[in-house]
Homo-oligomer: A and B are copies of this chain.
Amino acid sequence: MKARVTVTLKTGVLDPQGKAIEGALKSLGIAGVDSVRQGKVFDIELAGHDAVAAEAALKTACEKLLANTVIENYRVEIGA
């Protein structure tokens, strides 16, 4: 079973990496970019076919390791 976990910075948390990318895009002449925020994505291959158990396991994984929940949000999609 495949799953995708997306971890993004919470609104209001400064993102200097995103700001740098925004500046680079502007200097490359890509028009119309107002803001960029960078996050992380984890493509996870899981054993078994129990989507509910998999989602629970991945939420635990996010809380413990994949996301810093003080400054980041996470989203778990099963079967993506």
Which residues of A does B touch, CB under 8 Å?
6, 8, 18, 21, 24-25, 28, 30-48, 53-54, 57-58, 60-61, 64-66
Number of copies: 2
CB distance from A66 to the nearest CB of B (A): 7
B8 touches A32 (CB 8 A): no
A35 touches B44 (CB 8 A): yes
A36 touches B44 (CB 8 A): yes
B43 touches A40 (CB 8 A): no
A40 touches B37 (CB 8 A): no
CB distance from A7 to the nearest CB of B (A): 8
7 intermolecular pairs with C-beta atoms under 8 Å apart: A25-B61, A28-B61, A31-B57, A34-B46, A34-B47, A36-B44, A37-B44
